[in-house]
Structure 1
Amino acid sequence: MIDLSPLVAAPGASSLPYFDPAFAERALVLHAARPRRWHPGTPVLLVHHGVGRNGRDYRDYWLRHVDPANLLAIAIEFPEASFPQYLCYNFGNLHTAEGMANPRRQWTFGIGGRLFDQLRDQGITTTDRYGLFGHSAGGQFVHRMLSFGYRDRVAVAVSANAGTYAMPDLATAWPWGLGATEVAADDLRALLTFPLTIMAGTEDTKTTGRFFPGGPKSMRQGPTRHARAHTYLRRGRQAAAGLGVTLAWRLIDVPNVGHDGRKMSDAAAPLIADALRRNAEC
């Protein structure tokens, strides 16, 4: 077991190589932002970076927030060398490049929960649930992760500026929907009644970037990332109505912000801090 105490040894920024138990030979990096008044009861936020695999940057986006928000932020970096391309990250390693299904133990969606277990086992946190924030490719990771049931210990989850979505639709094949996966109607009900926050920058409308998902199946979700977030919410409402449940999702438009991880982190910080505070009071 890797000693995680260096992450909280001193206030401010730190980094630590990390190996998840299911991926013993694939290096991750943990980038932590520790508040000055940290103690084991301080709420924990796990942060998921974008396609640039720049966990250090995302840690730094949150560094200014950890004291006023009273939280310990840990950005989990998935280096390209260890977890190549979108299959291992955006899509959770459900399938190999040849389309063969991987066992659930090898899904990268489980890495954050196992890290939280180790933080608890080592006494670094005594909290019972954690927060989750992902931007861009990280936003894809977060909402797809939640789609497969990794929700029990998540107190608040924000998916921001995702490029594509796994629509809550069992008739649309993965990864643009949840069809041809283990998700069934009861699992879909549980997803729809989980309080997911979708955040979309109103200026996230550029379609010329190298990493903009522009294939035909992606374009069916909407012409821009901003439009696709609204499609995801609309499809959630339709699915909830069809299954007879009340949708717990919400969508927050962030005005005058484009595809910007720092500004979306700034917008998410107050609502995440409030949710983690309320969880600690329960």
Structure 2
Amino acid sequence: MAYRDQAFPDRALHLHAARPVGWSPAMPVVFVHHGVRRNGRDYRDYWLAHVDAGGFLAIAIEFPDDSFPEYLWYHFGNLRTKDGAANPPEAWTFGIGPRLFQALRDQGITTAPRHGLFGHSAGGQYVHRMLSLGYREHVAVAVAANAGTYAMPDLGIAWPWGLGALGLAQADLPPLLGFPLTILAGTEDTGTTGAHFPKGPNSMRQGPHRYGRAHAYVRTGRQAAEALGMTLAWELIDVPGVGHDGARMSDAAAPLIAERLRR
């Protein structure tokens, strides 16, 4: 179905839902974020096999290219314009999911207090950056899989490869580092020749491929947590034998998200 967020009334999104047979509003919701191909219907289909066993409603939020073009609107949340000017927070696309969840609660579609969150590839970029900027209040469990680049938890590295140049302070890091974020890394996601693999110098500093960058992100998080005298709450899970595959990474994430939603 077409959906228009209140902050972007002239930019349509598409919602693709997979509902379990025994659905009731007491069951939780999982928001699923697609990759660079903007193929929300496919990602909904990847989760069809999991909603009954998991006992949740999966909603794939599709950001069509004609409404939210290129990486600035999606991967990087529309914090900056093409010429580098800052957009106000109300124009950030990271607010779309929280507002959608509130709308689902207001309409009685779900009574769950919190939801799950999954993103693969470009969706993994969107999910972890969204969480990094504080959109965590109603998220019970979040999984970012096979992201191409990361916003390292380092205020000395400028956005979007770090959290610098955003006006954040050291006090903003502990809530992020203490949030139970799971990073899924396909052990075979080591290709570097694809058209959508980020190859710029800032990206390459994070590692030679997506698998290496996932490990670098969690390693940087651990170092940041140790410097603050705290324990990192993130978890890194390797998915053996899987490359850049949204379906198989969804298969790996779904049982994990279902178990944590039941806690």
Cα shift readout 1:259-281 (whole Å, capped 9, x = no counterpart)? 00000000001110001111xxx
Q: Aligned to 1:38, which of 8, 16, 23?
A: 23
* Partner Cα distance (1:217, 1:182) in 2: 20
Q: Which of the residues 135, 139, 155 maps onto 2:120?
A: 135
Question: 1:107-132 deviations in whole A, cap 9, x for unaligned?
Answer: 00010000000000000000000000
After superposition, residues 224-263 of structure 1 pair within 5 angstroms as 224-263=209-248
Deviation readout 1:56-110 (Å, 9 max, x if unpaired): 0000000110001111000000000000100000000001111111110110001
Q: 1:154 aligns to what? A: 139
Q: Which runs of 5+ in 2 are unaligned?
A: none
**Counterpart in 2 of 1:198?**
183
Partner SS for 2:182: strand
Matches within 5 A, 1:159-178: 159-178=144-163
Who is 1:188 aligned against?
173
Equivalent of residue 89 in structure 1, options 74, 85, 93: 74
Q: Secondary structure at the match of 1:23?
A: coil
How far apart, CA to CA, are the structure 2 residues paired with 1:55 and 1:245?
37
Identity %: 72
Does 2:40 match 1:55?
yes
Q: Which letter does structure 1 place at the counterpart of 2:26? A: G
Code of the residue aligned with 1:28 in structure 2: it is: L
Q: Quote the offset at 1:244 in angstroms.
A: 1.4
User: Structure 1: any 5+ residue segments left out of the alignment?
Assistant: 1-15
TM-score by length of structure 1 reads 0.93
Q: Which residue of 1 aligns with 2:254?
A: 269
- Distance in 2 (CA, whole Å) between partners of 1:243 and 1:175 is 22
Deviations 1:131-179 (A, max 9, x none): 0000000000000000000001100000000000000000000110000
Query: Displacement, 1:183?
Result: 2.2
Distance 2:86 2:154 in 1: 20
Counterpart among 84, 87, 109 of residue 102 in structure 1? 87
Q: State the one-letter code of the partner of 2:29.
A: V
The one-letter amino acid paired with 1:89 is Y
Any idea what the Cα deviations from partners look like across 1:44-67, whole Å, max 9, x if unmatched? 000000000000000000011000
Instruction: Kindly indicate whether residue 4 of structure 2 is the aligned counterpart of residue 19 of structure 1.
Output: yes
Q: CA deviation at 1:246?
A: 1.1
- Moved runs in structure 1, 4+ residues, more than 3 A? none
CA RMSD for the aligned pairs? 0.5
Deviation of the 1:187 alpha carbon? 1.1
Q: Which amino acid aligns with 1:112?
A: G
1:254 aligned partner, one-letter code: V
* SS of corresponding position for 1:21: coil
Q: TM-score normalised to the size of structure 2?
A: 0.99
Residue in 1 that maps onto 2:101: 116
